Amino acid sequence: MRIKWYGQAAFLLTSDSGLRVVTDPYTPENLGYAPMRDEADIVLTSSDDDDAHCRHDLVPGDHSWLNTLDAVRAGGSANAAGLTVRAIEATEIEDHPLHEPGANAMYRFELDGMQIAHMGDVGNDLNDKQVAFFEGTDILLTLAGGVFTTRLDEVKRLIDACQPKLVIPMHFRTLTYKPRNLHWIETFLSYFDEEKDVDFAFGHEIDITKETLPERTRVLVMDYAR
């Protein structure tokens, strides 16, 4: 599987069979990241009203779109073009200075035999049910910017509890990110032993297989697509 990070919470995951899944696409002019030029087969969003996470209409291609909150409403699971997606409801940060907080979903699915989980745009402390939702995760696409999302000590508590093989940070401040209201990645990395537990991709794409996953939790910091 190939993983490409566009920026914010948007990734393109391409399976060995060629299935292309995009997560949480954004509005480029609002965030400063480049437009998403790759076509997709499936687009997953964590909400339907947050233009930093829901712009499925800006993803090229004749794709299927699933608002993962609909999977929550359907009992916790839904099908998107043959892909089974599980989701659990969460809440955006309760005291949001920019707009009213809205419902949000965290979601997971399987590609190439690997369980991939995405934290969406959640801002609440995680309850036991939400933590349990991430058990068995191989790759965790995790919020790493704090401030308008889940506190970083809560994120670290989740990682320690579910012990994913690979943690890929997202939704943190970068030189391109316009709003300037998130932590830099160094704040997130301070919760880990950088010498022992952290790798840097030095690029916006990586190839990963189930066989090459680390035996214990490691953090992989990716660059964003230009």
| Order of strands, sheet of 205-207, starting from the edge strand that comes earlier in the sequence | 64-67, 42-45, 20-23, 10-14, 2-7, 205-207
**Domains of the chain by start residue, with CATH:** 2-221 (3.60.15.10)
Kindly indicate the confidence band of residue 93, based on its pLDDT and cuts at 50, 70 and 90. low
Give 159-169 pLDDT, tens digit per residue: 999 999 999 99
Q: Rounded to an integer, what distance in angstroms lies between the CA atom of residue 103 and that of residue 77?
A: 17
The predicted structure's pLDDT at residue 94: 60
Residue 99 pLDDT exceeds 50: no
DSSP state letters, the chain: -EEEEEETTEEEEE-TT--EEEES---HHHH-PPP--S--SEEEES-SS-TTT--GGGS-SS-EEEEHHHHHHTTSEEEETTEEEEEEEEE--SS-SSS---EEEEEEEEETTEEEEE-TT--SPP-HHHHHHTTT-SEEEEE---TTSS-HHHHHHHHHHH--SEEEEES-B-SS-SS--S-BHHHHHTTS-HHHHEEE-SSSEEE--GGGS-SS-EEEEPPPP-
Residue 141 pLDDT exceeds 80: yes
The predicted structure's pLDDT at residue 149: 86
What are the tokens at 75? Answer: 């009992």
What's at 117, amino acid-wise? A
What predicted TM-score, i.e. pTM, was given to this entire model?
0.94
Burial 183-202 (b: 16+ CB within 10 A, else e): bebebbbebbeeeeebeeee
Q: Rounded to an integer, what distance in angstroms lies between the CA atom of residue 169 and that of residue 200?
A: 11
Give the 3-state secondary structure of 86-97.
EEEEEECCCCCC
> Could you tell me which of 83, 85, 91, 41 has the C-alpha nearest to residue 67?
85
Q: How many CB atoms lie within 10 A of CB 78?
A: 21
Residue 96 pLDDT exceeds 60: no
Residues 142-164, mean pLDDT to the nearest whole number: 94
Residue 25 pLDDT exceeds 50: yes
Residue 35 pLDDT exceeds 60: yes
Residue 98 pLDDT exceeds 80: no
Residue 95 pLDDT exceeds 90: no
Q: Rounded to an integer, what distance in angstroms lies between the CA atom of residue 136 and that of residue 56?
A: 28
Q: Which residues pair with 111 in a beta bridge?
A: 114
The predicted structure's pLDDT at residue 102: 67
